[in-house]
């Protein structure tokens, strides 16, 4: 999915499930700590953040369950595909996120991963889970908008 957007970002992957399963309250851009073999695999676009989430460990925010495929040419110095990866945030942002996680029972989910000025960035969202009826309503509205566009196209 390596395509450039108009504002100079090169998209790596996008988490479509996140917007369907969660209401986003706050969106933050963070850097991500990667090893050499990981960044080479990321440049090839072999990343999956669909089932990942972030938690607080020892005063840091860590991305869990993200999958970065192994790089073929990195034989001895390869990495584990599902390692925990540290997110680079300012201390003030970390404290704000930890407070929201503890008080309000929210979660942190990644929404996008992209390159910005050659650096790998990840967009995380502080989110609240949707109930089943909310998801049905989203599907219903999406179907109605699709049908409405079809009717307008046919009538003109």
Residue 144: inside a domain = no
- How many domains would you assign to the chain? 1
CATH of the domain at 80: 2.40.280.10
Report pLDDT for 144: 92
CB burial of 66-83 (b: ≥16 within 10 Å; e: otherwise) equals bebbebeeeeeebbeeee
| 41 within domain boundaries | yes
- Does residue 154 lie in a domain region? no
Residue 53 lies in a domain: yes
Query: CB within 8 A of 102, min separation 6: which ones?
Result: none
Instruction: Give me the domain span that covers residue 100.
Output: 3-130
Burial (CB count <10 Å: 0-12, 13-18, 19+), residue 149? exposed
Q: Pairing state of beta strands 67-68 and 119-129?
A: unpaired
pLDDT value of residue 91: 93
- Is the distance from CB of 54 to CB of 152 less than 8 angstroms? no
Q: How far apart are CA 116 and CA 105, in angstroms?
A: 31
**Could you state, in chain order, the average pLDDT of each consecutive group of 10 residues for the chain (156 residues)?**
67 86 89 87 88 90 90 76 88 90 86 90 90 83 92 87
């Amino acid at each position: 999915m390596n395509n450039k957007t108009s504002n100079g970002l090169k998209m790596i992957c996008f988490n479509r499930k996140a917007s369907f399963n969660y209401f986003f309250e706050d969106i933050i851009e963070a850097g991500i700590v990667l090893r050499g073999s990981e960044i080479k695999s990321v440049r090839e676009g072999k990343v999956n953040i669909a089932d990942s989430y972030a938690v607080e460990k020892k005063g840091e925010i860590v991305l869990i369950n993200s999958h970065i495929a192994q790089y073929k040419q990195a034989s001895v110095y390869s990495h584990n595909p599902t390692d925990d990866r540290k997110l680079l945030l300012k201390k003030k942002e970390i404290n704000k996120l930890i407070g929201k996680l503890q008080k309000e029972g929210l979660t942190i989910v990644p929404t996008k991963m992209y390159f910005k000025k050659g650096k790998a960035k990840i967009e995380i969202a502080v989110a609240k889970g949707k109930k089943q009826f909310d998801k049905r309503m989203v599907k219903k509205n999406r179907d109605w908008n699709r049908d409405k566009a079809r009717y307008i196209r046919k009538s003109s």
